[in-house]
Amino acid sequence: MLLRAAWLGSCIVASATAQTGPAPTDLPAADTAVAIGSAVPKYVPPTWRERRDVALGKLFGPQAILETIPGAAFDTARNFPHSWGRGAPGFGKRALSQYGQFAAGEGIELGVAAFRREDPRYHRVGPGPMGKRIKHVIASGAVTLNDKGDRTLYLGRLANIYGSWAIASRWNPPEVHGASSVVLNGSLGLALKIGASGFREFWPDFKQGRKRK
C-alpha cells in the first residue's frame, strides 16, 4: 500500500513537471470558464487579500467539509487509528484531527505559495474536451501558475500535504508515526486535493444542467 501511495505521488509530480512553462492560451480566470472561441482575459496574479480570502474560504467553506468529514468517516469505518476505536467518540476525534491537520496544511500552503508567488486559486478549463479537463484536474494537484502566468511546480501544495501529516503525527497515536505513514497518508491526501479540484471543475456544469431542466 505504501508503494502504491508513493507511486501516486510521483506520477502527479511528474505530470506537474512535464507541464511547467507557459500556460495554455485558453486558461480562464479563477473559478470561471471561457467559451471556446471567445476572447481570453489577461492573467492577473492574486493580491495578498485574494490569497487571504482563498485561505479563509477553504478553512470555513465546503472544502473544509469535503476534506475532513469523508476522511473521518472512512477512518472510523476501518478503525484507523485503531486505538481511537469506532463509534461517535472515535469519529469525533478523527474529525477534529482531520480539521486540525487541514488548517495547519492550509497555513503552510499560504506561506509557501506567497513566498514563491504561486497562485493558490483553481483555474477552471470549462467547456471543452473531457480528456483535457480531466488532465488539468489531475495536474492541479502539483502544478499551478506563477505571477507571470506560467505553469510551475506547486511547492506550496506539496508542503501542505506532507507537512500537515508530519505535524498531525505529533498528536496522533504512536501507531501512525514515522516517515512511511507521512508518505502514505500524504499521497492519499494529495488524491483528495485532486478530488476537490474535480469538484470545482465540474460542479458548475452540473448546476447549469439542473437550471435548464
pTM for this model (two decimals): 0.68
* In the chain, domain spans: 44-205
DSSP the chain: -HHHHHHHHHHHHHHHHHT-EEPPTT--SBT----TTSPPPPP-PPPHHHHHHHHHHHHHSHHHHHTTHHHHHHHHHTTSSGGG-SHHHHHHHHHHHHHHHHHHHHHHHHHHHHHHTB--S-B---SS-HHHHHHHHHHTTTEEEBTTSEEEE-HHHHHHHHHHHHHHTTTS-GGG-SHHHHHHHHHHHHHHHHHHHHHHHHHHHHHHHHHH-
d(C-alpha 152, C-alpha 115), whole Å = 14
State residue 10's pLDDT score: 42
State residue 183's pLDDT score: 82
The tens place of each residue's pLDDT in the chain, 213 residues long, gives: 433 443 444 444 443 333 333 344 333 334 443 333 334 467 889 998 899 898 888 888 887 888 789 889 988 998 888 889 888 999 999 999 999 989 999 999 999 999 999 999 998 998 889 999 999 999 999 999 999 899 999 999 999 999 988 888 888 887 777 777 778 878 888 888 898 899 889 989 888 776 666
State residue 212's pLDDT score: 66
State residue 117's pLDDT score: 94
Query: Please, how many CA atoms are within 13 Å of residue 4, restricted to the half-sphere of its CB?
Result: 4
State residue 21's pLDDT score: 37
State residue 28's pLDDT score: 39
